[in-house]
Amino acid sequence: MLQTEYEFTLPMGYVDAEGTLHREGVMRLATAADEILPFKDPRVQGNQAYLIVILLSRVITRLGSVSQINPKVIEGLYAADLAFLQEFYNRINRNGKASIEAFCPKCEHSFEMEMSAAGGS
């Protein structure tokens, strides 16, 4: 069965207007429309760097108890969280998994490490 949703933990977390910290979330795999339609958005046409904001607002399905993920929420993320989500997006959409291959330099044992764990606690 194809996995289409992946959990993540933000390194810093999104702080909403009430001061609540949200770190746990879910991102779904992107569709062709998710990748194409943002180019019609005037904010993206005016500034290509805004593409990731629109793209993430389309594919993040849950972020803590935030009721609706929209571009304003993504704009409110700390830079470290935005960078984490960009890498997470690329990883799950390029190879269909949220883990990376790692190895122990001491014993040279290789293993897979879940990216969601990178957010820490």
Q: CA 81 from chain center: how many Å?
A: 8
State both tokens at 75.
Answer: 């704009």
- DSSP-assigned beta bridge partners for residue 21: 15
Angle at 32 between CA 100 and CA 71, to 5 degrees: 80
Q: Which of the two residues, 3 and 114, has the higher pLDDT score? A: 3
Is the model's pLDDT at 121 over the cut of 50? no
pLDDT of residue 2: 83
Q: Is 19 left (phi over 0), alpha (psi -120 to 50) or beta?
A: left
Instruction: Determine contact, residues 74/36, Cβ cutoff 8 Å.
Output: no
Model pTM?
Answer: 0.78
At residue 118 the predicted structure's pLDDT band, cuts being 50, 70 and 90, is: very low
Tokens of 76: 């409110």
Q: Which residue has the higher pLDDT, 59 or 102?
A: 59
- pLDDT single digits (tens) 76-95: 999 999 999 999 999 999 87
Average pLDDT, the chain: 87
pLDDT band at 103 (very low <50, low <70, confident <90, very high): low
Can you name the residues that pair with 103 across neighbouring β-strands?
110
Residue type, 2: L
